[in-house]
């Protein structure tokens, strides 16, 4: 898997947009960008993934730069329940031995 770099922690005010950056400068053409989060004591939760186009779902938006070397996960209106560790992962879609590999993630604290 390509290595990803995320800030270890971030704060966000409740109701504001949370923008979580991720660098993946060595990403390959067959690797998707995935975002997961882990709320305290729970299992990781899938949020969104993308290859090169921006993606949006009911949870978040994913913005991938044109060169694919970085991406940003956007939570448009953060709530206290969004406080969690957010993981940015790149993974090849066509490699059977390529599992989802978690790094340190970004600990997002949403404050009232």
Nearest distance from C-beta of residue 91 to another protein, angstroms: 8
Nearest CB to another protein, comparing residues 50 and 75: 50
CB of 13 to another protein, least distance (A): 25
Enumerate residues 36-95 that contact another protein by CB under 8 A.
36, 38, 41-46, 49, 51, 85, 93-95
1-28: burial string, b at 16+ Cβ within 10 Å, e else:
bbebebeeebebeeeeebebebbbeebe
Helix, strand, coil fractions of the chain, as percent rounded to 5 = 5, 45, 50
Paired residues of 34 in beta bridges: 49, 89
41 or 112, CB closer to another protein? Answer: 41
- Joined together, the tokens standing for residue 38 give 């882990």
Q: What is the binding site for another protein (CB under 8 A)?
A: 32, 34, 36, 38, 41-46, 49, 51, 85, 93-97, 99-102, 104
């Amino acid at each position: 898997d390509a290595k990803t770099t995320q800030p270890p922690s971030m704060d966000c005010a409740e109701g504001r947009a949370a923008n979580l950056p991720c660098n993946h400068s060595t990403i390959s053409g067959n690797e998707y960008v995935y975002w997961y989060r882990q709320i305290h004591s729970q299992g990781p939760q899938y949020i969104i993934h993308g290859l090169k186009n921006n993606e949006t779902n009911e949870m978040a938006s994913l913005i991938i730069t044109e060169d694919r070397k970085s991406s940003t996960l956007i939570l448009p209106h953060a709530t206290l329940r969004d406080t969690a560790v957010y993981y940015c992962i790149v993974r090849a879609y066509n490699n059977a031995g390529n599992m989802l590999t978690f790094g340190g993630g970004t600990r997002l604290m949403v404050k009232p």
